[in-house]
């Protein structure tokens, strides 16, 4: 998991460790799992705690996406499958 911060926005980029460096392709879709996601290994509890504080999440991999789903942060309909690997994005909309 790696945390990216810009102003008020906090993005949690997380993936299963074995996906770092892979490029997933399916039809027109292409997702390179780059060092953007690689900030080190964390426990599921730490990952979920950080994701709940984030304004955005970019998640790749079975373990990662499933942890977010179990925490109620990602629904089944919000998962995109690329080469059999789940990918989900999370956005928090604050309406003032």
pTM of the model: 0.92
- Please tell me the predicted confidence (pLDDT) of residue 96: 63
Q: Summarize pLDDT for 21-65 with one digit per residue, the tens.
A: 999 999 999 999 999 999 999 999 999 999 999 999 999 999 999
Q: Summarize pLDDT for 57-95 with one digit per residue, the tens.
A: 999 999 999 999 999 999 999 999 999 999 999 998 776
Query: What ranges do the domains of the chain cover?
Result: 2-91
- Please tell me the predicted confidence (pLDDT) of residue 1: 97
Cα separations in angstroms, 9 against 35, 69, 88: 20, 22, 18
| Domain 2-91: CATH architecture, name and number where available | 2-Layer Sandwich (3.30)
């Amino acid at each position: 998991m790696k945390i990216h911060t810009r102003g008020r926005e906090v993005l949690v980029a997380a993936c299963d460790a074995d996906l770092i460096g892979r490029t997933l392709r399916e039809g027109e879709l292409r997702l390179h799992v780059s060092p953007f996601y690689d900030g080190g290994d964390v426990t599921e509890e730490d990952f979920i705690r950080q994701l709940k504080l984030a304004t955005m999440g970019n998640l790749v991999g079975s373990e990662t996406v499933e942890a977010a789903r179990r925490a109620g942060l990602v629904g089944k309909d919000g998962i995109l499958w690329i080469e059999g690997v789940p990918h989900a994005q999370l956005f928090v909309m604050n309406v003032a």
